[in-house]
Structure 1
Amino acid sequence: MNSLESLDLSRNKFSGEIPPSLANLTYLSYLDLSYNNLTGRIPQGSQLDTLYAENPHIYDGNNGLYGPPLQRNCLGSELPKNSSQIMSKNVSDELMFYFGLGSGFTVGLWVVFYVVLFKKTWRIALFRLFDRIHDKVYVFVAITWASIGREATTD
């Protein structure tokens, strides 16, 4: 039994605890204990942790199981430690994103203001650009308005 490589005991209506000796099967590369009536703490062992990392559904359907690697304690409630760490990491990542976004926007805006304020040639070029854009928008609106007015009078 020590050289067992694959074990699928899913959907067999087994009940009771998982035998601790299951954690000692070093050649085991596939394990499925899902959808039984298993209860108790999951045995500790690096082999079971590795199998859970490769297939996190091996304990599904066994509501009586608890302990690592599942996120349930012995009372069936979720463990708050890992979820709070994940939540705080997400919040800190989000805060860092918004801080970077705000500071980048502020620095970029001040660079533009500096250039416009202290570089006369750039200021003149910027105002000429605004004048050209204003002229093009004005001509577009005037032509569109005139064509709408013509269509309304011809009907």
Structure 2
Amino acid sequence: MLEYTRTISLVTCMDLSSNNLSGEIPEELSSLLGLRVLNLSRNHLTGKIPDKIGKLALLESLDFSKNQLSGTIPPSMSSLTFLSYLNLSNNNLSGKIPSGNQLQTLQDPSIYMSNNDLCGLPLTDKCDSDETSQSPMPIGGDVKKDDGAHEMAWFYSALGPGFAVRFWAFCGVLVLKKAWRIAYYRFFDEMKERLLYGCCFARC
């Protein structure tokens, strides 16, 4: 048995495919920070994909296909910005496929095939949360639009009576108050004279 201690950063490729390996994927694999290729396909591995898989920042190729892995795909996998090849098919993975960063460029559905409980893009199976967020609003749900329409209707219905009340209140004061009526007409006469005087002055 070999133990990598000082040369951990020098391990760039690990291919243990088709070896009848069993048990869970060890968390210690996340310590191989120089790893670029990791292939554990065609074994009998169980358990979850390690949450710290995202620490392998230089990983370009990852193959966990044809095992019995279960659980969800860890969100940290979306941080593998150099990943160009991924195969998680033929497992028992479940939940929503993470999105973002490099995973958005890997749009081949065969990457995740034969994982009956996986959902989300690039698969055609939608997750329950997606259907809920995209579901049409119930009848009467568009409250804001209805409220706006009612407010506009009330505004226009009150506009006419309001104008009439103000108009007749103003005219009523002039009719009943003789002194105000005289002052009102005198004000307009003075304004007219000033305007005429200003125009004559401008012409001169």
**TM-score, structure 1 length as denominator?**
0.43
Answer with 1 or 2: which has the greater Rg. Answer: 2
Q: Which has the higher strand share?
A: 2
Q: Which has the higher helix share?
A: 1
Q: Which has the higher contact order (CA 8 A, sep 6+)?
A: 1
TM-score normalised by the chain length of structure 2 = 0.36
